[in-house]
Chain A
Amino acid sequence: MTDSVQRAAETPDEPMPFAELGMKQDEYDRVKQILGRRPTGAELAIYSVMWSEHCSYKSSKVHLRQFATKAPKSEALLVGMGENAGVVDIGDGWAATFKIESHNHPSYVEPHQGAATGVGGIVRDIMSMGARPIAVMDALRFGAADAVDTRRVLPGVVEGISHYGNCLGLPNIGGEVVFDPCYIGNPLVNALCVGLLRKDQIKLATAPGPGNKVVLFGASTGPDGIGGASVLASATFEDESQAKRPAVQVGDPFMEKLLIECCLELYAADVVVGIQDLGAAGVSCATTELAAKGTGGMDVDLNLVPLRDPSLRPEEILMSESQERMMAVVRPDDIPAFMAICAKWDVPATVIGEVTDTGRLVMTWDGEVIVDIPPGTAADEGPVYERPFHEPAGQAALNADTPDHLERPADLRETLLKLLGSPNLASKEWVTSQYDRYVRSNTVLAQPADSGMLRISEAIAGAEPTTRGIALSTDGNGRYARLDPYAGAQLALAEAYRNVAVTGAKPLAVTNCLNFGSPEDPEVMWQFAEAVRGLADACKTLGVPVTGGNVSFYNQTGSTAIHPTPVVGVLGVIDDVAKRVPTGFTAEGLRVVLLGDTHDEFGGSEWAHVVHGHLGGLPPRADLEAEQALSTVLVEAAARGLLEGSHDLSDGGLALALAESCLAQGVGASVELCGDAFTELFSESAARALVAVRPEAYDEFAALCARHDVPCYGLGVTGGASLVVKDRFEVPVEELRAKHTATLPALFG
C-alpha cells in the first residue's frame, strides 16, 4: 500500500524505520515538527539522505564557515562555496571551475566501480556549472604497499579510474598515490575535475519560473546505490561491510560521454534555465536543492521517472544513486529543442514535473500525494552539530617523541636508493600509464610533472584565442597532519601552491577534500577543527580563496581512525602557456640552484618513516611568507624565461628532488653541499625548490631572488650520466632509474 500524505496524517503513531536509515531520534522528531505529522516513507527517505553527514555537512558546517569568514579578498572568485563547484576568473573572458570529492567508502567495498563512479560524479558537478570538463586527477591513499588487501584495492581502483576516465575522453594529468598502514581498511579515493567555460555562461542549480518544466535526462533509474548516501558514507565500517556490496553504484562512462556532449549542446542552444547533477541522494537531492534555490516550489510525478527495474518503490526511486543522470529546468517553449538535442545524442529525457510558486515540493505516486514538504527544510536546514572536541590523549607524548634519537646513516648513497625505491617515493608509472594523458590535445604537463598543465585556447571550439594556461596540483601528507593537524593542513596547501608555482603558474584558488575518522570521536573532531582552522588561516595569508570541496568523515575501522588527511588542490594561471617550466633537468650545462633554507626537520619525514618506521615529533614548520616569496620568484622567473627546469622539494627532501630531476630526462648533475650532508639531503623543510638556470641567466635570476629575500644557493651543474654529490657519493642515473621503477611492478604485476 502506498504510504500517502493522507495516510500519514491518519496514522500518526505508525513506527517508521528512521534508525535503520541512519537518522537519530531527535532528528526524526524535528521532521515531525516541520511537517506537523509523521513523514511518509518517501518523505523519510528524502530527509534521511539529505540530513546524512555526507549531504548536510552537519558535523563540519560550524568549522567550514571559516573558509568564508577568513576568505582573502579575491577578484577572481566568480562562484564560491555552496554551488556544485567553485568558479574562478582566469582572464580573457575565460573561467575555470574545479573541485575535488571523495569516494572512499565505495572504493573499499567495490574498488573498480567505487573509484569509477567517483570520477563520474565529480565530472557531472563540473558539467552542471555550464563548463566543458577538460581534465581529471586523483589523490589516492592505500594501506601498506605489500599488504594483501592492497593488492585487491589498488589494482581495482586504478582500473576503475582508468576505465571510466579514459572512456570519457578526459586526460588524467596528475594526482598522488600514497601508502600507509593506517589506510588499510579505509583507502582514500579523492577525484578532482576541472572544466572551462566562458565567464558569462555560468549555470546554476536553481529552478525559477513557475510553469517551467523539470526534465530528468541521462540513464534510467535502477536499484543501485540505494541508501548509499546515508548507509555507506555515514556509518563506520564494521565487519559486515561485505554485505553492503549492492549499495555501490555502477558506472557507464559511455553514457556520461554522451551526457557531456549533450549538455554542452544544450547550453550552446540556451535552452537550460537551471541544472543539477544527480549524485549522492539522487532525485531527492536534485529536486529539493533546485526547488529551494528557485521560486520555491515544484510538482513531480514519480511515476514518470524512467526505471531500469519496474519493481522499484517510490522511496527507492528517491534514494537511488544510479549514475549518469542530470536534471534540468527548461522553459515550456524550449522543450522541443531540448528534446531534439537529447535525441541526437541518444540521451533519454523525460519531463517529470514543473516549477511552482507554492513553496512546497509535492510528489505523487499512482495519483496519490506521497511527498509534500518545504524543500528548503531538507536541502538547507538540516541539523547542525557543535560536536565536542579535545586534543587526543597521546598527542603530547607523540609530539615529544622527536626523531632526534634516531640513528642517522653513514652511507648516504644507500639511504637515497632505499628511499627512492620505497613505495611512496618510487615511480608511479605503473599507475599513471593506465591513464590517458593526451586526449583532447591540451595537455602541456602531466604526471610525473609537479603540476598538470593545460592550454586553454583550444579547449572549446570557436572560443576567443588566448595564450593562457591553467596548472593544477593536489597534495596532502597524513603523517604531518597526524603530528599537527593545523600545520599539516597548511603544509598540504603550501606544497600544492608551490607545485603550481614551480611550473610558472600563479596560484589562484583552492579546493579541498578533508578525510577524517568519526566526528563522534572528540579526538578526531579536534583533528578536524585544527585542520580547518589551519587551512583557512593559510588561505588567508597566501591570498587564495577556498572555492569548494568535500568532507569525508567516518574513515575508520572500529575505533581506529586514519591519519587526518586533508588533501588540498590548488589551481593556478600562467599568462603564456608556452613559457611553462618543465620538471627536472632538461639539458646539460645548467646551473643547479636551491631556493629556500634547510633546517634540521625530520618529524613525519619519509626518512623516519622508511628507515625507522618512526612517526613522532613535529612536522616541518609551515612558513607561509617564505612560500609566497618563493612563488613570486618562480612565477616571475618563468615569465622572463630564466628557468630551464624546476622541481619542488617535499617528501624525501633535496636528495629525492635531485634524483627525480635527473630521471626526468636522463640528465645527470654534479652538486656540492655545505653543512651537514644528511640534513641538507633528507630534511623536509618547506618553502624550497630546485631550479635549473642557464649560466648566462644566473645573475639576473640571483638578483630577482635577492629582491624578494628568497635564499638562493648554487649547488652545481647539470650534465653527465650520474648524480654526483661531491666528496660523498655518485649514482649512475640508470641505477637510480632501475631502483625507482622496479617497486610498483614488483608489487602489482
Chain B
Amino acid sequence: MSAARVGVVTFPGTLDDQDAARAVRLVGAQAVPLWHADRDLKGVDAVFLPGGFSYGDYLRCGAISRFAPLMEELVPAAQAGLPVIGTCNGFQILCEAHLLPGALVRNASLHYVCRDQKIRVEQTATAWTNSFASGQEIVLPVKHGEGRYVASADTLAALEAGGHVVFRYVDGNPNGSLNDIAGIRNEAGNVVGLMPHPEHAVEELVGAPSTDGLGFFTSILKNLVNA
C-alpha cells in the first residue's frame, strides 16, 4: 500500500506548516504541501490546517483565510467526509468557515500564553483521536493569544449532549474557554479543531517535554487504513 497522503496548508502568515509536515513524515505518511491560492487539494487523504497568523490575523483570526481559493475546495470536501484537523489558527479558520460551531476570542488574561498544558481526550471516535484511550490525559503545548472558546448556550449544550467536545483543559484553563473546552469535532467526527499543538510534541529532543502529539498522526493513519 502506498503511504497515506496528508495535505498541509500554507496561507501567507502560516507558521507551523513545516512542523506539521515533519510530524506527518515521522509516522510514515507523506506530507503534501497545499498552497492557499490553488484551488487544488491534490487528491490528499486528509488535511492539516496548521497554526500561525494567516493574513496577519488582520480583521479577525481566520476571517480572511476562510475566503482563500483553497478553502473553496476544502469546505465541500470536509462536508463530504474528508478528514480535516485545524490546530490553533487552523481551528480559528475552521470556525470562521463554519465547519465547526462557535468562535475563538481573546484570552481572558489578555496575554498571549505559551505553556505545556495538560488536556484530557474526551472523545476517541474521531478520525484524529482513535489512537487515544477515552479519558486519557496528555500534555501538549498551547501558544496563542486568542484561544478562548465561546459559543451560544444552545450550541454549547448541543456540543456537550452530542459528545462533540473532544478535548478539555485539565489543571488550569489557559485562556478562559467555556467548559474548559480545548477542542471540538463536527457531527460526523471527520473535522476536529483544537487550540493545543500536537505537532510540537512529537520528538524527545525538541518542543514540549512530551511525545503525546504523535497519537493524532497515528490516529489518522489508522483511520485511513480502515476507511
Contact = CB atoms under 8 A, between A and B. Distances in A.
Interface stretch (B66-74, B187-195, B202-210): B202-210
Interface of B: 12-13, 15-16, 18-19, 22, 52-53, 55-58, 111-115, 141, 143, 145, 197, 199-200, 203, 205-208
A252 B53 CA distance: 12
Given A254-B53, A254-B55, A439 B12 contact: no
Given A167-B57, A169-B52, A433-B115, A442 B12 contact: no
A436 B143 contact: yes
B53 A435 contact: no
Contacts, number: 85
Nearest to B35: A344
A441 B22 contact: yes
Contacts of B112: 162-163, 166, 434-436
6 contacts: A254-B12, A254-B58, A432-B114, A435-B114, A436-B112, A438-B208
A461 interface: yes
Of A162, A434, A441, A577, the most chain B CB neighbours within 10 A belong to A441
Given A169-B15, A577-B205, A438 B56 contact: no
A582 to B, nearest CB: 10
B203 A167 contact: no
A113 interface: no
Most buried by A among B55, B112, B114: B114
Given A433-B115, A434-B113, A455-B206, A441 B56 contact: no
A253 B54 CA distance: 11
A461 B145 CA distance: 28
Interface in A570-593: 577-578
A258 interface: yes
Contacts of B13: 167, 254, 257-258
Nearest to A577: B205
A433 B145 CA distance: 11
Given A254-B53, A443-B207, A438 B197 contact: yes
A120 to B, nearest CB: 13
Interface string A329-372: 00000000000000001100000000000000000000000000
B184 to A, nearest CB: 23
Contacts of A444: 205-206
- Specify which of B12, B52, B145, B203 lies most central, judged by the most chain A CB atoms within 10 Å of its CB: B12
Given A162-B111, A257-B15, 11 more contacts: A159-B111, A163-B112, A167-B53, A254-B56, A257-B13, A435-B114, A438-B143, A441-B199, A444-B205, A455-B205, A577-B205
A437 B12 CA distance: 21
A458 interface: yes
A345 B12 contact: yes
A440 interface: yes
A258 B12 CA distance: 7
Contacts of A252: 56
Interface in A239-280: 252-255, 257-258
